């Protein structure tokens, strides 16, 4: 085989894509259609709570177009990190959507489902065996962290997906997967270089985000050859440039020349980017360096409480000049008023937008003089009721706090919403973000075959 063509419809399943752009991509006769469906970018809540961060109807719309196209062309569809986080509950959620589509469209689908959730008991066993290590900047994992975790998934490499493709399936639904793998696995299975296949997958998983102008809701086409791959956008309003593709190669990496993944590293030191014409870029030279040990990344989330927030603003220059002292004083007032509650049972947080709400302590512009500030009061507590109570008292205390120099007494804050306090429900944090050493890359990723429709 001289080349393989891969169509990536969108950056995340459910983000959407223009149908005419998708159709132009199909006219190039791709060998398969692949899409990434998840990420840890939205935070730990979705893994811990077992819900998707993408809308069901939006996911169904994208999947329906992809599945119908795949059946028409006789090519497989591959979905990675199903349901957004890739645990069993997310995989089942996506399978239910596929079943619904198959029935509505009168289709028969042979589907391979690949689980990526690992039982807590197995992770505890591996912990005792010393098989779990830190993934910097995370520190060493503890038994308590594992035991308190709601769900644990592992990022699969290409091997389980290649096994699934051995079964001549219409659709592969994978649980948590290393982002490039659903794009790279069919290519590696067909005998193409691993480094080029994974690097191309690294670009395609974000689709036209790597184009200019960039978009997470449009298609990208990759053509893999034995010595290079070529990227282009089916949408004539976008184009790939050396700058846009090279810049995206640096995306989500702490080393510009190394991309770490299951089983090894993509080495980019010899990578070259060449502009073929005004819309296409050729990439060559990327190599794969196998690791001495095969490791997979573990992701786990645990519930730490419940959240309530209140969103307010101020443009009083007297208040703005002393905002840090005011917030600390209000926090102390709340603690004194609820001295019967353990401070271990709740936490009061403030985010100040217009000053350092994005960067926090890392904000480099320390001397800015804003004329207005947005203040988010956030309380995390052991129960929703306690979070509501502490947030309510903190909000009312800040609203009427008599700071030095204040002239008006009607209130210090402007509230955008009524009610001003918003219960936000359960709060999760990542409790596992570590590496597990395995003997078999497919050990924790069983493949199940189903006929749907």
pTM (2 d.p.): 0.94
Instruction: Tell whether the torsion through CA atoms of 368, 370, 376 and 378 is positive or negative.
Output: positive
Give 160: exposed, middle or buried? Use CB within 10 Å, 0-12, 13-18, 19+: buried
- Going by their DSSP bridges, the two strands 414-415 and 294-314 should be labelled as antiparallel
Residue 386, CA distances (Å) to 221, 224, 350, 409 in order: 51, 56, 17, 29
Reduce the DSSP state of residue 75 to 3 states and report it: coil
Compute the distance between CA of residue 25 and CA of residue 188 in angstroms, rounded to an integer: 22
Name residues whose C-beta falls within 8 Å of residue 326's C-beta, 6 or more positions apart in sequence: 319, 398, 401, 403
Sketch out the chain's domains with CATH numbers: 4-116+155-291 (no CATH), 302-430 (3.30.70)
Contact 273, 246 (CB under 8 A): yes
The pLDDT value recorded for residue 223 is 98
Residue 175, CA distances (Å) to 15, 122, 213, 419, 440 in order: 18, 18, 31, 39, 17
Quote the tokens at residue 338.
């609820």
Name the DSSP class of 119: -
Contact 177, 199 (CB under 8 A): no
Backbone angles phi, psi at 265, to 5 degrees: -130, 135
The pLDDT value recorded for residue 409 is 83
Mean pLDDT by 10 residues, the chain (453 residues): 95 97 98 97 96 97 98 98 98 98 97 98 96 89 94 98 97 98 98 98 96 97 98 97 95 87 95 97 97 96 98 96 97 97 96 95 90 98 98 97 91 95 97 96 97 92
């Amino acid at each position: 085989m001289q080349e393989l063509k891969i169509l990536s419809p969108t950056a995340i399943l459910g983000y959407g894509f223009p149908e005419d752009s998708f159709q132009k991509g199909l006219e190039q006769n791709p060998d398969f259609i692949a899409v990434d469906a998840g990420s840890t970018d939205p935070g730990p809540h979705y893994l811990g709570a077992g819900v998707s961060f993408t809308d069901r109807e939006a996911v169904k719309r994208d999947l329906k177009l992809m599945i119908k196209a795949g059946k028409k062309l006789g090519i497989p569809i591959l979905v990675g990190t199903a349901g957004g986080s890739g645990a069993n509950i997310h995989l089942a959620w996506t399978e239910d959507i596929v079943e619904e589509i198959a029935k509505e469209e009168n289709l028969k689908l042979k589907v391979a489902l690949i689980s990526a959730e690992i039982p807590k008991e197995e992770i505890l066993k591996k912990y005792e065996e010393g098989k779990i290590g830190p993934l910097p900047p995370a520190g060493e994992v503890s038994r308590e962290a594992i035991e308190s975790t709601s769900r644990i998934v592992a990022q699969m490499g290409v091997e389980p997906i290649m096994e699934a493709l051995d079964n001549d399936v219409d659709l592969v639904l994978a649980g948590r997967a290393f982002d490039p793998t659903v794009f790279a696995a069919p290519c590696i299975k067909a005998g193409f270089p691993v480094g080029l296949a994974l690097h191309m997958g690294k670009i395609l998983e974000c689709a036209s985000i790597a184009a200019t102008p960039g978009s997470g809701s449009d298609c990208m086409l990759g053509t893999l050859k034995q010595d290079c791959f070529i990227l282009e956008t089916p949408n004539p309003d976008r184009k790939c440039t050396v700058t846009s593709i090279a810049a995206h190669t640096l995306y989500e990496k702490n080393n510009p020349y190394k991309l770490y993944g299951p089983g090894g590293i993509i080495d980019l030191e010899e990578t070259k980017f060449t502009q073929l014409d005004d819309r296409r870029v050729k990439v060559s030279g990327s190599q794969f360096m196998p690791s001495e040990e095969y490791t997979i990344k573990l992701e786990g989330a645990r519930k730490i409480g419940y959240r309530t927030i209140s969103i307010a603003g101020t443009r009083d220059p007297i208040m703005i000049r002393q905002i840090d002292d005011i917030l600390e004083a209000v926090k102390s007032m709340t603690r004194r008023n609820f001295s019967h509650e353990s401070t271990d049972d709740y936490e009061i947080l403030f985010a100040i937008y217009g000053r350092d709400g994005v960067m926090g302590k890392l904000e480099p512009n320390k001397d800015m003089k804003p004329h207005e500030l947005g203040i988010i009061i956030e309380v995390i507590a052991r129960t929703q009721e306690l979070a509501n109570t502490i947030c309510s008292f903190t909000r009312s205390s800040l609203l009427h706090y008599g700071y030095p120099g204040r002239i008006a007494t009607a209130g210090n804050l402007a509230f955008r919403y009524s009610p001003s306090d918003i219960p936000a429900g359960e709060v999760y944090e990542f409790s596992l973000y570590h590496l597990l050493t395995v003997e078999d890359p497919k050990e924790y990723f069983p493949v199940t075959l189903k006929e749907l429709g």
